[in-house]
Structure 1
Amino acid sequence: MFEVAHVGVVVADADKSLAFYTKVLDCQVEDMYQDERIRLIFIRSGQLTIELIQYTADPAPTRNAGRVDHIAFFVNDLTAEIEKLRQHNIILLFDQPRVVGNKKIMFFVGPDGERLEFVEKI
């Protein structure tokens, strides 16, 4: 079995997305790369690396949505994290958290419309 290296998310503004993922989601910058066609920022959330991809000279200017539906993050206190999202005016996709089996979840929207989820084990 292969280990997942990272999940890539195409963003319109790498600086805006970096601020969101580091300030709102507490991710840490792991690495950066830039050349004339692309800017990459690798951020870490626990064991997961997320690659923020900003194309500066994209040969495919309109990309269709891929198969990745969302990125989920474990949290210890979903209520506190939802309040933090509200303080940052982040769009929540439910009015209230939902219970799914032994988890409480909340979906929300990132700066480029990417679906994100918080998961609290109960």
Structure 2
Amino acid sequence: MAVTKMEHIGIKVDNLERSLQFYREVIGLTVRSILGEAGDGVRLAFLSFPGQASVEVELIERVFEGLPREGRVSHAAFTVDDIEEEHRRIAALGIPALTGISTLPNGSRYFFFDGPDEEKLEFFQSVQNK
């Protein structure tokens, strides 16, 4: 098994600009990258602490109808060395809700599956040096 670290925590937000300001000013995070443009169906922002980019906060802007306030954390993501190998391993275990491997515009790749209480988990292979 080649899971190497906690990758990021995804948080669903209503307004990316407002949330970016909050996480920069209140929490002290810095923006590493933003994927998507205003008006896109989904926009993602990745933030980390200055000088410590090993774990990120991912802000996810999309319309989330009827989402309870306590349901804002979307998923936990873990860095993997070989996304294809890990996908085959999870599939062989018969773990539910396994998605296919997807690719972000920057080339990073990921897939989702459910934990034992239906929590969303993500395995993520980044193209960035972490």
Q: What TM-score comes out, normalization by structure 2 length? A: 0.43
Q: Which has the higher contact order (CA 8 A, sep 6+)?
A: 2
Q: What TM-score comes out, normalization by structure 1 length? A: 0.45
